[in-house]
Chains A and B, each alone.
Chain A
Amino acid sequence: MKTIENLFYTEDHEWIKIEGNEALIGITDYAQHKLGSIVFIDLPEEDDEFERNESFAVAESTKAASDILMPLDGTILEINEDLDDEPGLVNEDAYKNWFVKISISDTSQIDDLISDKQYIEFCSKED
Protein backbone atom coordinates (compact mmCIF):
# COMPACT_ATOMS: atom_id res chain seq x y z
CA MET A 1 0.00 0.00 0.00
CA LYS A 2 1.22 3.42 -0.97
CA THR A 3 1.43 6.52 1.22
CA ILE A 4 2.89 9.99 0.68
CA GLU A 5 5.19 11.49 3.29
CA ASN A 6 4.07 15.10 3.63
CA LEU A 7 0.35 14.35 3.94
CA PHE A 8 -1.74 13.86 7.08
CA TYR A 9 -3.98 10.83 7.54
CA THR A 10 -6.89 9.51 9.59
CA GLU A 11 -7.76 6.05 10.84
CA ASP A 12 -10.77 6.26 8.50
CA HIS A 13 -8.35 6.08 5.57
CA GLU A 14 -8.51 9.66 4.37
CA TRP A 15 -5.45 11.74 3.42
CA ILE A 16 -5.28 15.48 3.96
CA LYS A 17 -3.01 18.06 2.30
CA ILE A 18 -2.94 21.23 4.40
CA GLU A 19 -2.45 24.53 2.56
CA GLY A 20 -2.72 27.25 5.20
CA ASN A 21 -6.39 27.50 6.21
CA GLU A 22 -7.47 25.17 3.42
CA ALA A 23 -7.11 21.45 2.79
CA LEU A 24 -7.47 18.93 0.00
CA ILE A 25 -9.05 15.64 1.08
CA GLY A 26 -9.03 12.23 -0.57
CA ILE A 27 -8.96 8.54 0.29
CA THR A 28 -5.82 6.47 0.64
CA ASP A 29 -4.48 3.74 -1.58
CA TYR A 30 -5.42 1.22 1.13
CA ALA A 31 -9.02 2.49 1.02
CA GLN A 32 -9.38 2.32 -2.77
CA HIS A 33 -8.02 -1.20 -2.73
CA LYS A 34 -10.46 -2.29 -0.02
CA LEU A 35 -13.41 -0.73 -1.90
CA GLY A 36 -12.62 -2.46 -5.16
CA SER A 37 -13.69 -0.89 -8.43
CA ILE A 38 -15.35 2.43 -7.57
CA VAL A 39 -18.33 2.92 -9.88
CA PHE A 40 -19.87 6.06 -8.42
CA ILE A 41 -18.87 8.89 -6.09
CA ASP A 42 -21.56 11.01 -4.48
CA LEU A 43 -19.95 14.40 -3.76
CA PRO A 44 -21.36 17.29 -1.71
CA GLU A 45 -22.01 20.78 -3.01
CA GLU A 46 -19.88 23.89 -2.69
CA ASP A 47 -20.65 25.83 0.52
CA ASP A 48 -21.92 22.69 2.33
CA GLU A 49 -20.67 22.65 5.92
CA PHE A 50 -19.64 19.53 7.80
CA GLU A 51 -18.32 18.63 11.22
CA ARG A 52 -15.39 16.33 11.85
CA ASN A 53 -16.45 12.65 11.45
CA GLU A 54 -19.56 13.59 9.52
CA SER A 55 -20.02 11.83 6.17
CA PHE A 56 -19.45 14.33 3.35
CA ALA A 57 -19.27 11.94 0.41
CA VAL A 58 -20.05 8.35 -0.54
CA ALA A 59 -17.82 6.10 -2.63
CA GLU A 60 -19.74 3.21 -4.16
CA SER A 61 -18.53 -0.11 -5.52
CA THR A 62 -20.98 -2.40 -7.32
CA LYS A 63 -21.79 -4.16 -4.09
CA ALA A 64 -21.56 -1.50 -1.38
CA ALA A 65 -21.62 2.20 -0.50
CA SER A 66 -18.93 3.59 1.83
CA ASP A 67 -19.19 6.84 3.75
CA ILE A 68 -16.20 9.15 3.50
CA LEU A 69 -15.81 11.11 6.74
CA MET A 70 -14.62 14.70 7.26
CA PRO A 71 -11.29 14.70 9.08
CA LEU A 72 -11.82 18.30 10.25
CA ASP A 73 -14.69 20.76 10.72
CA GLY A 74 -15.00 22.74 7.49
CA THR A 75 -16.83 24.16 4.50
CA ILE A 76 -16.63 22.78 0.96
CA LEU A 77 -14.85 25.21 -1.37
CA GLU A 78 -14.45 23.01 -4.42
CA ILE A 79 -15.37 19.49 -5.54
CA ASN A 80 -13.41 17.39 -8.03
CA GLU A 81 -15.82 17.15 -10.94
CA ASP A 82 -13.58 14.68 -12.81
CA LEU A 83 -14.84 12.08 -10.36
CA ASP A 84 -18.41 12.52 -11.64
CA ASP A 85 -17.59 10.99 -15.01
CA GLU A 86 -14.65 8.83 -14.01
CA PRO A 87 -14.90 7.58 -10.43
CA GLY A 88 -12.36 4.89 -11.35
CA LEU A 89 -9.63 7.56 -11.33
CA VAL A 90 -9.48 7.12 -7.58
CA ASN A 91 -8.57 3.45 -8.05
CA GLU A 92 -5.86 4.48 -10.52
CA ASP A 93 -4.23 7.05 -8.28
CA ALA A 94 -5.79 7.72 -4.89
CA TYR A 95 -3.43 10.59 -4.03
CA LYS A 96 -3.65 12.52 -7.27
CA ASN A 97 -7.46 12.34 -7.41
CA TRP A 98 -8.75 14.42 -4.49
CA PHE A 99 -12.45 14.51 -3.55
CA VAL A 100 -12.93 18.04 -2.08
CA LYS A 101 -11.11 21.21 -1.12
CA ILE A 102 -12.28 22.70 2.17
CA SER A 103 -11.74 25.77 4.30
CA ILE A 104 -10.78 24.64 7.79
CA SER A 105 -12.94 26.01 10.62
CA ASP A 106 -10.67 24.99 13.49
CA THR A 107 -6.99 24.59 12.65
CA SER A 108 -6.22 23.15 16.10
CA GLN A 109 -7.92 19.95 14.95
CA ILE A 110 -4.93 19.36 12.65
CA ASP A 111 -3.07 18.20 15.77
CA ASP A 112 -5.39 15.19 15.93
CA LEU A 113 -4.46 13.96 12.46
CA ILE A 114 -1.81 11.24 12.16
CA SER A 115 1.41 11.05 10.15
CA ASP A 116 2.14 8.67 7.31
CA LYS A 117 4.24 6.48 9.64
CA GLN A 118 1.46 6.28 12.22
CA TYR A 119 -1.04 5.49 9.44
CA ILE A 120 1.11 2.67 8.05
CA GLU A 121 1.38 1.19 11.54
CA PHE A 122 -2.36 1.50 12.07
CA CYS A 123 -3.06 -0.32 8.78
CA SER A 124 -0.69 -3.17 9.56
CA LYS A 125 -2.73 -3.84 12.70
CA GLU A 126 -6.07 -3.68 10.76
CA ASP A 127 -5.11 -6.69 8.63
Chain B
Amino acid sequence: MSNLKRTALYEKHVESNGQIIDFAGWQLPVQYESLEAEHNVVRNVAGMFDVSHMGEVEVKGLDALNFIQNLVTNDVYTIENNQIVYTFMCYENGGVVDDLLVYKRNNNDFLLVINASNISKDYEWMLENSKDYNVEIINISDSISEIAIQGPKAEEILQKTTEFDLSNIKFFFFEQNIKIGNIDCLISRTGYTGEDGFEIYTNNNDIAIIWDALLDAGKEEGLLPAGLGARDTLRFEASLPLYGNELSNEITPLEAGLGFFVKLGKNDFIGKNALVKQKTEGLKRKIIGFEIEKGIARHGFEVYAGDNKIGFVTTGYISPTLGKSIGLALIDAKYATIGNEINIKVRKKFRTAKIISKRFYKKNYNK
Protein backbone atom coordinates (compact mmCIF):
# COMPACT_ATOMS: atom_id res chain seq x y z
CA MET B 1 0.00 0.00 0.00
CA SER B 2 2.95 2.34 0.56
CA ASN B 3 3.43 3.01 -3.15
CA LEU B 4 -0.03 4.51 -3.43
CA LYS B 5 -0.43 8.28 -3.57
CA ARG B 6 -2.78 10.35 -1.44
CA THR B 7 -4.49 13.57 -2.42
CA ALA B 8 -4.41 16.56 -0.07
CA LEU B 9 -7.96 15.62 0.97
CA TYR B 10 -7.14 12.10 2.22
CA GLU B 11 -7.73 12.95 5.89
CA LYS B 12 -11.12 14.47 5.01
CA HIS B 13 -12.17 11.19 3.42
CA VAL B 14 -11.11 9.22 6.47
CA GLU B 15 -12.97 11.68 8.73
CA SER B 16 -16.15 11.18 6.67
CA ASN B 17 -15.83 7.35 6.85
CA GLY B 18 -14.70 7.00 3.26
CA GLN B 19 -14.03 3.40 2.12
CA ILE B 20 -10.57 3.88 0.67
CA ILE B 21 -9.49 1.87 -2.38
CA ASP B 22 -6.64 1.91 -4.87
CA PHE B 23 -7.68 3.86 -7.96
CA ALA B 24 -5.03 4.37 -10.66
CA GLY B 25 -2.38 4.35 -7.95
CA TRP B 26 -4.25 6.73 -5.63
CA GLN B 27 -5.94 6.06 -2.27
CA LEU B 28 -9.43 7.42 -2.81
CA PRO B 29 -12.90 6.66 -1.44
CA VAL B 30 -15.12 4.40 -3.56
CA GLN B 31 -17.98 5.52 -1.32
CA TYR B 32 -18.67 6.95 2.14
CA GLU B 33 -21.92 5.71 3.71
CA SER B 34 -23.76 4.52 0.62
CA LEU B 35 -23.14 4.62 -3.12
CA GLU B 36 -26.88 4.94 -3.80
CA ALA B 37 -27.27 7.87 -1.38
CA GLU B 38 -24.31 9.68 -2.96
CA HIS B 39 -25.59 9.02 -6.49
CA ASN B 40 -29.07 10.28 -5.59
CA VAL B 41 -27.87 13.39 -3.78
CA VAL B 42 -26.06 14.50 -6.95
CA ARG B 43 -29.23 14.09 -9.01
CA ASN B 44 -31.47 15.78 -6.42
CA VAL B 45 -29.34 18.27 -4.44
CA ALA B 46 -25.54 18.28 -4.86
CA GLY B 47 -22.56 16.05 -4.20
CA MET B 48 -18.87 16.83 -3.86
CA PHE B 49 -16.00 14.79 -5.36
CA ASP B 50 -12.27 14.88 -4.69
CA VAL B 51 -10.84 14.73 -8.22
CA SER B 52 -7.33 15.89 -7.32
CA HIS B 53 -5.87 12.78 -8.92
CA MET B 54 -6.74 14.13 -12.39
CA GLY B 55 -3.84 15.47 -14.45
CA GLU B 56 -3.16 19.03 -15.55
CA VAL B 57 -0.67 19.98 -18.27
CA GLU B 58 0.07 23.54 -19.34
CA VAL B 59 0.88 24.27 -22.97
CA LYS B 60 2.47 27.68 -23.48
CA GLY B 61 4.29 29.48 -26.26
CA LEU B 62 4.03 31.04 -29.70
CA ASP B 63 2.85 27.79 -31.32
CA ALA B 64 0.54 26.65 -28.51
CA LEU B 65 -2.65 27.05 -30.58
CA ASN B 66 -1.28 25.25 -33.63
CA PHE B 67 0.30 22.52 -31.51
CA ILE B 68 -3.03 21.75 -29.84
CA GLN B 69 -4.97 21.98 -33.10
CA ASN B 70 -2.71 19.22 -34.45
CA LEU B 71 -2.84 17.23 -31.21
CA VAL B 72 -6.61 16.94 -30.71
CA THR B 73 -9.64 16.03 -32.81
CA ASN B 74 -11.83 19.01 -31.93
CA ASP B 75 -11.43 22.49 -33.41
CA VAL B 76 -9.63 24.84 -31.02
CA TYR B 77 -9.28 27.65 -33.57
CA THR B 78 -12.94 28.53 -33.05
CA ILE B 79 -12.99 28.81 -29.26
CA GLU B 80 -12.75 32.02 -27.22
CA ASN B 81 -10.49 32.88 -24.31
CA ASN B 82 -11.91 31.27 -21.14
CA GLN B 83 -13.76 28.65 -23.15
CA ILE B 84 -13.32 24.88 -22.84
CA VAL B 85 -13.68 22.05 -25.33
CA TYR B 86 -14.02 18.33 -24.74
CA THR B 87 -11.90 16.37 -27.17
CA PHE B 88 -9.63 13.38 -27.84
CA MET B 89 -5.96 12.85 -28.59
CA CYS B 90 -5.74 10.01 -31.11
CA TYR B 91 -2.98 7.75 -32.40
CA GLU B 92 -2.25 7.66 -36.14
CA ASN B 93 -4.64 4.70 -36.41
CA GLY B 94 -7.51 6.64 -34.85
CA GLY B 95 -7.41 4.80 -31.52
CA VAL B 96 -7.64 7.08 -28.48
CA VAL B 97 -4.67 8.20 -26.38
CA ASP B 98 -7.00 9.93 -23.91
CA ASP B 99 -10.14 12.05 -23.70
CA LEU B 100 -9.55 15.46 -22.15
CA LEU B 101 -10.70 19.02 -21.63
CA VAL B 102 -8.81 21.89 -23.25
CA TYR B 103 -9.10 25.18 -21.34
CA LYS B 104 -8.05 28.18 -23.46
CA ARG B 105 -6.56 31.04 -21.48
CA ASN B 106 -5.34 32.74 -24.68
CA ASN B 107 -3.77 31.71 -27.98
CA ASN B 108 -0.42 31.17 -26.26
CA ASP B 109 -1.58 29.61 -23.03
CA PHE B 110 -3.71 26.49 -22.55
CA LEU B 111 -4.51 24.13 -19.69
CA LEU B 112 -5.20 20.50 -20.58
CA VAL B 113 -7.06 18.35 -18.04
CA ILE B 114 -6.48 14.63 -18.49
CA ASN B 115 -7.34 11.29 -16.88
CA ALA B 116 -5.40 10.26 -13.77
CA SER B 117 -4.67 6.83 -15.23
CA ASN B 118 -3.02 8.37 -18.31
CA ILE B 119 -0.91 11.24 -16.95
CA SER B 120 2.56 9.88 -17.79
CA LYS B 121 1.45 8.45 -21.11
CA ASP B 122 -0.27 11.69 -22.17
CA TYR B 123 2.64 13.87 -21.13
CA GLU B 124 5.12 11.71 -23.07
CA TRP B 125 2.78 11.74 -26.09
CA MET B 126 2.57 15.54 -26.02
CA LEU B 127 6.35 15.91 -25.75
CA GLU B 128 6.95 13.46 -28.62
CA ASN B 129 4.56 15.41 -30.85
CA SER B 130 5.84 18.87 -29.98
CA LYS B 131 9.15 18.73 -31.82
CA ASP B 132 8.02 20.97 -34.69
CA TYR B 133 6.40 23.55 -32.44
CA ASN B 134 7.66 26.44 -30.35
CA VAL B 135 5.89 25.34 -27.14
CA GLU B 136 6.61 24.61 -23.53
CA ILE B 137 4.75 21.63 -22.06
CA ILE B 138 4.60 21.57 -18.29
CA ASN B 139 3.08 18.77 -16.25
CA ILE B 140 1.66 20.50 -13.16
CA SER B 141 -0.53 17.56 -12.04
CA ASP B 142 1.29 17.10 -8.74
CA SER B 143 0.77 20.69 -7.66
CA ILE B 144 -2.93 21.05 -8.44
CA SER B 145 -5.88 19.81 -6.39
CA GLU B 146 -9.46 19.76 -7.62
CA ILE B 147 -12.99 19.42 -6.25
CA ALA B 148 -16.10 18.86 -8.37
CA ILE B 149 -19.43 20.01 -6.96
CA GLN B 150 -22.32 18.67 -9.05
CA GLY B 151 -26.10 18.82 -8.85
CA PRO B 152 -29.08 21.18 -9.23
CA LYS B 153 -28.09 23.07 -6.06
CA ALA B 154 -24.36 23.16 -6.82
CA GLU B 155 -24.39 26.82 -7.90
CA GLU B 156 -26.52 27.94 -4.95
CA ILE B 157 -24.17 26.24 -2.50
CA LEU B 158 -20.92 27.32 -4.13
CA GLN B 159 -22.22 30.89 -4.39
CA LYS B 160 -22.33 31.13 -0.60
CA THR B 161 -18.53 30.75 -0.52
CA THR B 162 -17.58 33.50 -2.99
CA GLU B 163 -18.54 37.02 -3.96
CA PHE B 164 -17.94 36.31 -7.63
CA ASP B 165 -21.26 36.01 -9.47
CA LEU B 166 -21.17 32.42 -10.69
CA SER B 167 -24.03 32.98 -13.13
CA ASN B 168 -21.38 34.72 -15.24
CA ILE B 169 -19.65 31.40 -15.84
CA LYS B 170 -21.48 29.73 -18.70
CA PHE B 171 -21.49 26.04 -19.55
CA PHE B 172 -17.99 25.00 -20.69
CA PHE B 173 -16.39 28.31 -19.70
CA PHE B 174 -14.09 29.16 -16.81
CA GLU B 175 -12.75 32.04 -14.75
CA GLN B 176 -9.46 32.34 -12.93
CA ASN B 177 -8.47 34.02 -9.67
CA ILE B 178 -11.89 33.64 -8.11
CA LYS B 179 -11.58 34.03 -4.36
CA ILE B 180 -13.12 31.47 -2.05
CA GLY B 181 -12.26 33.01 1.30
CA ASN B 182 -8.85 34.40 0.45
CA ILE B 183 -7.87 31.43 -1.74
CA ASP B 184 -7.46 31.92 -5.49
CA CYS B 185 -9.26 29.32 -7.57
CA LEU B 186 -9.91 28.50 -11.20
CA ILE B 187 -13.57 27.56 -11.53
CA SER B 188 -15.20 26.01 -14.61
CA ARG B 189 -18.79 25.07 -15.27
CA THR B 190 -17.95 21.50 -16.25
CA GLY B 191 -18.48 18.05 -14.83
CA TYR B 192 -18.91 14.34 -15.37
CA THR B 193 -22.38 13.62 -14.01
CA GLY B 194 -24.98 14.98 -16.44
CA GLU B 195 -25.99 17.64 -13.90
CA ASP B 196 -25.12 21.32 -13.64
CA GLY B 197 -22.03 21.91 -11.57
CA PHE B 198 -18.53 23.28 -11.21
CA GLU B 199 -14.96 22.08 -11.04
CA ILE B 200 -12.72 24.03 -8.69
CA TYR B 201 -8.93 23.99 -9.08
CA THR B 202 -6.43 25.34 -6.58
CA ASN B 203 -3.11 24.48 -4.93
CA ASN B 204 -2.64 21.44 -2.67
CA ASN B 205 -2.14 23.47 0.50
CA ASP B 206 -5.52 25.19 0.33
CA ILE B 207 -7.89 22.53 -1.05
CA ALA B 208 -8.93 21.24 2.38
CA ILE B 209 -10.17 24.71 3.28
CA ILE B 210 -12.34 24.70 0.14
CA TRP B 211 -13.67 21.22 1.04
CA ASP B 212 -14.70 22.38 4.52
CA ALA B 213 -16.15 25.66 3.23
CA LEU B 214 -18.36 23.76 0.75
CA LEU B 215 -19.50 21.18 3.31
CA ASP B 216 -20.44 24.00 5.63
CA ALA B 217 -22.18 26.04 2.94
CA GLY B 218 -24.13 22.97 1.79
CA LYS B 219 -25.18 21.70 5.21
CA GLU B 220 -28.67 23.19 5.02
CA GLU B 221 -29.38 21.74 1.57
CA GLY B 222 -27.87 18.36 2.41
CA LEU B 223 -24.66 18.40 0.33
CA LEU B 224 -22.74 15.14 0.72
CA PRO B 225 -19.23 14.04 -0.20
CA ALA B 226 -19.47 11.45 -2.99
CA GLY B 227 -17.01 8.73 -3.99
CA LEU B 228 -15.69 7.11 -7.14
CA GLY B 229 -18.48 4.54 -7.18
CA ALA B 230 -21.17 7.18 -7.58
CA ARG B 231 -18.94 9.07 -10.02
CA ASP B 232 -19.05 6.04 -12.31
CA THR B 233 -22.78 5.29 -12.02
CA LEU B 234 -23.61 8.98 -12.62
CA ARG B 235 -21.47 9.39 -15.74
CA PHE B 236 -22.72 6.04 -17.04
CA GLU B 237 -26.37 7.07 -16.75
CA ALA B 238 -25.51 10.26 -18.66
CA SER B 239 -23.80 8.10 -21.35
CA LEU B 240 -20.47 9.82 -20.79
CA PRO B 241 -17.54 7.61 -21.81
CA LEU B 242 -14.85 6.27 -19.51
CA TYR B 243 -11.38 5.76 -20.94
CA GLY B 244 -10.61 2.09 -20.56
CA ASN B 245 -14.29 1.20 -21.09
CA GLU B 246 -15.92 3.05 -24.03
CA LEU B 247 -12.65 4.54 -25.29
CA SER B 248 -9.19 3.00 -25.56
CA ASN B 249 -6.22 2.71 -27.88
CA GLU B 250 -8.36 0.13 -29.74
CA ILE B 251 -11.64 2.06 -29.85
CA THR B 252 -11.95 5.24 -31.93
CA PRO B 253 -14.16 8.20 -31.03
CA LEU B 254 -16.32 7.41 -34.07
CA GLU B 255 -16.95 3.85 -32.86
CA ALA B 256 -17.89 5.33 -29.48
CA GLY B 257 -20.49 7.54 -31.14
CA LEU B 258 -18.60 10.72 -30.21
CA GLY B 259 -18.02 12.06 -33.75
CA PHE B 260 -19.44 15.42 -32.66
CA PHE B 261 -16.09 16.09 -30.99
CA VAL B 262 -14.09 15.06 -34.07
CA LYS B 263 -13.94 17.84 -36.64
CA LEU B 264 -12.88 16.02 -39.79
CA GLY B 265 -13.32 19.25 -41.77
CA LYS B 266 -10.51 21.05 -39.94
CA ASN B 267 -6.84 21.03 -40.94
CA ASP B 268 -4.66 18.00 -40.37
CA PHE B 269 -4.42 16.44 -36.93
CA ILE B 270 -2.92 13.21 -35.60
CA GLY B 271 -5.23 10.37 -36.59
CA LYS B 272 -7.25 12.37 -39.13
CA ASN B 273 -6.52 10.11 -42.10
CA ALA B 274 -7.53 6.97 -40.25
CA LEU B 275 -10.72 8.57 -38.95
CA VAL B 276 -11.70 9.94 -42.37
CA LYS B 277 -11.16 6.47 -43.83
CA GLN B 278 -13.23 4.88 -41.07
CA LYS B 279 -16.06 7.31 -41.64
CA THR B 280 -15.99 6.90 -45.43
CA GLU B 281 -15.91 3.12 -45.30
CA GLY B 282 -18.59 2.96 -42.62
CA LEU B 283 -18.04 1.83 -39.05
CA LYS B 284 -17.54 -1.89 -38.49
CA ARG B 285 -18.25 -1.62 -34.75
CA LYS B 286 -20.43 0.69 -32.69
CA ILE B 287 -21.18 1.35 -29.06
CA ILE B 288 -24.84 0.73 -28.32
CA GLY B 289 -27.07 0.95 -25.29
CA PHE B 290 -28.98 -2.09 -24.03
CA GLU B 291 -31.42 -3.14 -21.36
CA ILE B 292 -30.95 -6.62 -19.96
CA GLU B 293 -33.90 -8.69 -18.79
CA LYS B 294 -32.37 -10.15 -15.66
CA GLY B 295 -29.11 -9.74 -13.80
CA ILE B 296 -26.35 -7.21 -14.25
CA ALA B 297 -24.12 -7.06 -17.35
CA ARG B 298 -20.62 -6.09 -16.25
CA HIS B 299 -17.61 -4.70 -18.15
CA GLY B 300 -16.07 -7.42 -20.32
CA PHE B 301 -19.08 -9.76 -20.53
CA GLU B 302 -19.48 -11.19 -24.05
CA VAL B 303 -22.36 -10.20 -26.33
CA TYR B 304 -23.93 -12.67 -28.77
CA ALA B 305 -26.44 -12.63 -31.61
CA GLY B 306 -27.63 -16.23 -31.78
CA ASP B 307 -24.42 -18.31 -31.70
CA ASN B 308 -22.20 -15.50 -32.97
CA LYS B 309 -20.08 -13.55 -30.57
CA ILE B 310 -20.55 -9.96 -31.73
CA GLY B 311 -18.88 -7.87 -29.07
CA PHE B 312 -18.55 -7.11 -25.35
CA VAL B 313 -20.03 -4.99 -22.60
CA THR B 314 -18.08 -1.79 -21.88
CA THR B 315 -20.05 -0.67 -18.80
CA GLY B 316 -23.19 -2.00 -17.10
CA TYR B 317 -25.13 -1.32 -13.90
CA ILE B 318 -28.56 -1.40 -12.38
CA SER B 319 -29.12 2.34 -12.84
CA PRO B 320 -29.85 3.88 -9.42
CA THR B 321 -31.92 6.70 -10.97
CA LEU B 322 -33.81 4.64 -13.54
CA GLY B 323 -34.07 1.37 -11.61
CA LYS B 324 -33.32 -0.62 -14.77
CA SER B 325 -30.44 -2.98 -15.56
CA ILE B 326 -28.77 -1.32 -18.52
CA GLY B 327 -25.41 -1.05 -20.19
CA LEU B 328 -23.21 0.02 -23.06
CA ALA B 329 -21.53 -2.47 -25.38
CA LEU B 330 -19.21 -2.37 -28.40
CA ILE B 331 -20.67 -4.66 -31.07
CA ASP B 332 -20.58 -5.44 -34.80
CA ALA B 333 -22.19 -2.51 -36.54
CA LYS B 334 -24.56 -4.67 -38.53
CA TYR B 335 -26.42 -5.72 -35.37
CA ALA B 336 -26.47 -2.19 -33.94
CA THR B 337 -30.11 -1.30 -34.48
CA ILE B 338 -32.41 -0.13 -31.70
CA GLY B 339 -34.94 -2.84 -30.92
CA ASN B 340 -32.65 -5.75 -31.86
CA GLU B 341 -32.38 -8.61 -29.40
CA ILE B 342 -28.95 -9.71 -28.23
CA ASN B 343 -27.70 -12.19 -25.66
CA ILE B 344 -25.20 -11.39 -22.97
CA LYS B 345 -23.11 -14.08 -21.28
CA VAL B 346 -23.42 -13.41 -17.55
CA ARG B 347 -21.05 -15.84 -15.84
CA LYS B 348 -22.32 -19.17 -17.26
CA LYS B 349 -25.83 -18.10 -18.30
CA PHE B 350 -26.99 -16.33 -21.44
CA ARG B 351 -29.40 -13.50 -20.66
CA THR B 352 -31.62 -11.75 -23.19
CA ALA B 353 -31.16 -8.05 -23.76
CA LYS B 354 -32.60 -5.46 -26.12
CA ILE B 355 -30.76 -2.63 -27.85
CA ILE B 356 -32.08 0.75 -26.67
CA SER B 357 -31.12 4.39 -27.12
CA LYS B 358 -27.90 5.44 -25.35
CA ARG B 359 -29.76 8.47 -24.01
CA PHE B 360 -30.60 6.69 -20.77
CA TYR B 361 -30.97 9.87 -18.74
CA LYS B 362 -31.90 13.41 -19.77
CA LYS B 363 -28.96 15.64 -18.88
CA ASN B 364 -29.67 18.82 -16.88
CA TYR B 365 -26.87 21.09 -18.04
CA ASN B 366 -27.31 24.80 -17.42
CA LYS B 367 -26.69 25.88 -20.99
Contacts and interface: CB of A to CB of B under 8 A. Distances in A.
B153 to A, nearest CB: 24
Contacts of A40: 295-296, 318, 325
A105 interface: no
Interface in B256-287: none
B295 A62 contact: no
A63 B229 contact: yes
B301 to A, nearest CB: 11
Contacts of B31: 36, 63
A39 B296 CA distance: 9
B36 A63 contact: no
Given A36-B34, A39-B296, A40-B295, A58 B229 contact: no
A62 B229 contact: yes
Nearest to A41: B295
A42 B295 CA distance: 7
Contact of A65 (B30, B35, B36, B296): B296
B347 interface: yes
Contacts of A65: 296, 298
Given A42-B295, A42-B347, A60-B295, 19 more contacts: A36-B31, A37-B35, A37-B36, A39-B296, A39-B318, A40-B296, A40-B318, A40-B325, A42-B346, A61-B35, A62-B35, A62-B36, A62-B229, A62-B233, A62-B318, A62-B320, A63-B31, A63-B35, A65-B298
A65 B36 CA distance: 16
26 contacts: A36-B31, A36-B34, A36-B35, A37-B34, A37-B35, A37-B36, A39-B296, A40-B296, A40-B318, A40-B325, A42-B295, A42-B346, A42-B347, A58-B347, A60-B295, A60-B296, A62-B35, A62-B36, A62-B233, A62-B318, A63-B30, A63-B31, A63-B35, A63-B229, A65-B296, A65-B298
Please name the 9 residue pairs, one residue from A and one from B, whose CB atoms are nearest each other, closest first. A39-B318, A63-B229, A62-B35, A60-B296, A37-B36, A40-B296, A42-B295, A62-B317, A40-B295
Nearest to B19: A36
Interface in A15-69: 36-37, 39-40, 42, 58, 60-63, 65
Contacts of B325: 40
A40 B35 CA distance: 15
Contacts of A58: 347
Interface of B: 30-31, 34-36, 229, 233, 295-296, 298, 317-318, 320, 325, 346-347
User: Which size bracket describes the interface of A in this complex?
Assistant: 10 to 19
Nearest to A61: B35
B53 to A, nearest CB: 18
A22 B347 CA distance: 28
Nearest to A84: B294
A46 B318 CA distance: 26
A58 B298 CA distance: 13
Interface in A67-108: none
Contacts of A39: 296, 318
A62 to B, nearest CB: 5
A34 to B, nearest CB: 11
Contacts of A62: 35-36, 229, 233, 317-318, 320
A62 B318 CA distance: 7
A114 to B, nearest CB: 28
Nearest to B228: A63
Contacts of A63: 30-31, 35, 229
B313 to A, nearest CB: 13
A36 B34 CA distance: 7
A40 B294 CA distance: 9
Nearest to A37: B36
Nearest to A42: B295
